[in-house]
């Protein structure tokens, strides 16, 4: 898992419950450090341990934590870390989705062991989208929160339905997105 994501998770916890909550989570996970280097890749087990312990501290289910973190990422750490990318997301959420695999490739190209998700976008005759998210990490609730956050930062130009597993593909989930406006916003 990228360090920037783990740093964003720390921001999420601290924004939601304060620095003492983060300290408690780190203590419960027995991590040697609580500072994450943005351009470093960490074992996925670190992220999963943090989410598991955050569930206890924040009194939420892990799936709720991941979904909330996804939305938080789209409003906070994501735009601070990648301002030009998130300006595109805000102005043209549909175009952003079509470019998402390229963006993941660029962001992880030099990180050893990085395994970004694969995102495929399909448009129906009515202009709505189906987004297929495939990941060995199996984090559909995080993806759900990210997509909800995309709708929010783009002034509600799209809304997302709950994920559905893709039959025959155990590491893939499908999201139905209703597009309310395809016109890019240049304001």
Cα–Cα distance, 153 to 7 (Å, whole number) = 21
What is the CB-side half-sphere exposure of residue 168 using CA atoms within 13 A?
0
Cα–Cα distance, 123 to 119 (Å, whole number) = 13
Q: What does pTM read for this prediction?
A: 0.92
Contact in structure between 130 and 113 (CB atoms under 8 Å): no
> What confidence tier does 2 reach under pLDDT thresholds 50, 70, 90?
confident
Assess whether pLDDT exceeds 80 at residue 36.
Answer: yes
User: Would you state the pLDDT for residue 134?
Assistant: 94
User: Would you state the pLDDT for residue 31?
Assistant: 84
Q: Which of 127, 175, 168 is nearest to 147 (CA)?
A: 175
Domains and CATH numbers, the chain: 3-75 (3.90.1520.10), 83-179 (3.90.1520.10)
User: Would you state the pLDDT for residue 169?
Assistant: 94
User: Would you state the pLDDT for residue 185?
Assistant: 62
At 94-124, the pLDDT tens digits run: 999 999 988 888 877 776 777 888 999 999 9
At 152-178, the pLDDT tens digits run: 999 988 999 999 999 999 899 999 999
């Amino acid at each position: 898992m990228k360090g920037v994501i783990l740093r964003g998770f720390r921001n999420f916890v601290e924004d939601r419950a304060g620095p003492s909550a983060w300290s408690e989570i780190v203590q419960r996970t027995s991590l040697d450090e609580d500072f994450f280097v943005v351009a470093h890749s960490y074992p996925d087990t670190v992220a999963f341990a943090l989410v598991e312990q955050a569930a206890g501290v924040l009194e939420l289910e892990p799936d709720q934590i991941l979904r909330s973190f996804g939305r938080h990422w789209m409003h906070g750490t994501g735009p601070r870390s990648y301002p030009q990318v998130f300006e595109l997301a805000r102005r043209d959420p549909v175009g952003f989705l079509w470019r998402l695999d390229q963006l993941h490739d660029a962001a992880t190209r030099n990180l050893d062991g990085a395994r970004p998700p694969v995102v495929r976008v399909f448009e129906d005759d009515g202009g709505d989208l189906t987004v297929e998210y495939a990941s060995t990490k199996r984090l559909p609730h995080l993806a759900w929160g990210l997509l909800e956050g995309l709708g929010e930062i783009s002034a509600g130009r799209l809304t997302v339905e709950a994920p559905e597993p893709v039959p025959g593909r155990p590491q893939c989930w499908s999201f139905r997105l209703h597009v309310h406006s395809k016109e890019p916003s240049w304001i």
